[in-house]
Amino acid sequence: MRTLTIEPLTKEAFAPFGDVIETDGSDHFMINNGSTMRFHKLATVETATPEDNAIISIFRADAQDMPLTVSMLERHPLGSQAFIPLLGNPFLIVVAPLGDAPVSGLVRAFVTNGRQGINYHRGVWHHPVLTIEKRDDFLVVDRSGTGNNCDEHFFKEDERLILAPHQ
Ligand X SMILES: NC(=O)N[C@@H](O)C(=O)O
Q: For ligand X, which stretch binds (CB under 6 A), given 33-41, 84-92, 121-129, 158-166?
A: 121-129
Helix, coil or strand: residue 104: helix
Q: Toward ligand X, which CB reaches closer, 26 or 89?
A: 89
The pattern of x and - marking residues 15 through 54 that bind ligand X according to CB under 6 A reads ----------------------------------------
Give least dist CB 18 to Ni ion, A.
Answer: 11
Query: Is omega for the bond preceding 67 within 30 degrees of 0, making it cis?
Result: yes
Q: Toward ligand X, which CB reaches closer, 136 or 159?
A: 136
Q: Among all residues, whose Cβ is closest to Ni ion?
A: 81
Instruction: Please report whether residue 129 would count as binding ligand X according to CB under 6 A.
Output: yes
Helix, coil or strand: residue 146: coil
From Ni ion, ligand X, none, interface partner of 129 (C-beta below 5 to 8 A by class): ligand X
Binding positions for ligand X, 77-96, rule CB under 6 A = 81
Backbone dihedral angles phi then psi of residue 33, each to the nearest 5 degrees: 60, 35
Give least dist CB 33 to ligand X, A.
Answer: 39
Q: Where would I find the H helices in 2-159?
A: 11-14
Are the beta carbons of 22 and 115 closer than 8 angstroms? yes
Using only C-alpha atoms, what is the Rg of the chain? 16
Q: What is the greatest pairwise CA distance in the chain?
A: 58
Give least dist CB 97 to ligand X, A.
Answer: 16
Characterize the bridge pairing of strands 6-8 and 108-111.
parallel
Instruction: Please report whether residue 128 would count as binding ligand X according to CB under 6 A.
Output: yes
